Amino acid sequence: MNCDLFLYSGSSSAFNIKVYLANNSDLKAAGFTDQQAYTHFLVYGLNEGRQGSDYAGNTLEKARNISVGGQETSFTDWVGNADTNDFYKLNLVGVNNLTIALNTFSDINMKLIRDTNNNGASDLEETIASSTSTSVSSKELKLNSLASGIYFLQVYSGADANGHYDVKFVATPTPPSGSHIQGTKWNDANGNGIIKLRS
């Protein structure tokens, strides 16, 4: 099997070997070949409710819920003519620095969105950051001190572009500067940068 995406007979659903394997860690761990992965999908996966392709929905409402944190989390999927958008939904708890890296060999880009008017759609002014490079390589968004709340990442393909991508997230909490010392005067008596609380 050498195509990225194809329809299997008798259904309108699509199957994508790389996406299927990347999103089913049990099969990956078992070292399934492409052919075995496809057979698994037809014989078991369909009945078990596993997706054959496209693990990230095409609207904010159908976005893939992901957890992000200090440990890098990575997701593999595909966008192109048959699936132009992949949305990811992340919830930042507290103020965070967020880094998102997109690796692809196709004309695929990403934008970070906040649905501030809460209408379930991404409006023009709700894009916080975007990768606009037409080069087909790795792209990165780095955002400092993002407020707590729900964000969406949209991964989308350029005209006539089809391809796989990996997207990686790292979020590290940022203590709001100075907020913890407001109203109190601290004294670092020995100047070592550590303040001891008196008991």
Q: Taking CB under 5 A as the rule, does residue 166 contact Ca ion? A: no
Structural tokens at position 1: 């099997």
Q: Taking CB under 5 A as the rule, does residue 97 contact Ca ion? A: no
Antiparallel, parallel or unpaired: β 127-130 and 64-66: unpaired
Q: Taking CB under 5 A as the rule, does residue 15 contact Ca ion? A: no
Nearer to Ca ion, 26 or 125 (CB): 125
Q: Taking CB under 5 A as the rule, does residue 86 contact Ca ion? A: yes
Rounded to the nearest whole angstrom, what is the least distance from the CB of residue 12 to Ca ion in the complex? 15
Q: Taking CB under 5 A as the rule, does residue 115 contact Ca ion? A: yes
In sign, the C-alpha dihedral spanning 58, 167, 138, 153 is: positive
Nearer to Ca ion, 115 or 166 (CB): 115
Give the Cα separation of 167 and 101 in Å (integer). Answer: 6
Nearer to Ca ion, 72 or 123 (CB): 123
Q: Taking CB under 5 A as the rule, does residue 127 contact Ca ion? A: no
Q: Taking CB under 5 A as the rule, does residue 91 contact Ca ion? A: no
Nearer to Ca ion, 54 or 107 (CB): 54
- Which is nearest to 89 in space by CA: 119, 56, 123? 56
Rounded to the nearest whole angstrom, what is the least distance from the CB of residue 125 to Ca ion in the complex? 9
Surface-to-core class of residue 167, CB atoms within 10 Å of its CB (0-12 exposed, 13-18 middle, 19+ buried)? buried
Complete edge-to-edge strand list for the sheet that includes strand 163-173: 73-79, 163-173, 96-104, 139-146
Name the residue number minimizing CB distance to Ca ion: 54
Tokens 């006539």, located at residue: 160
- Which is nearest to 84 in space by CA: 157, 14, 154? 157
Nearer to Ca ion, 81 or 172 (CB): 81
Q: How many CB atoms lie within 10 A of CB 45?
A: 19
Each residue 45-84 as x (binds Ca ion by CB under 5 A) or -, in order, gives ---------x-x-x------------------xx----x-
3-state secondary structure of 42: helix
Which one of 61, 72, 123, 140 is in contact with Ca ion (CB under 5 A)? Answer: 123
Task: Determine the size of the site formed for Ca ion (CB under 5 A).
Answer: 12
Residues at the contact surface with Ca ion, assessed by CB under 5 A:
54, 56, 58, 77-78, 83, 86, 115, 117, 119, 121, 123
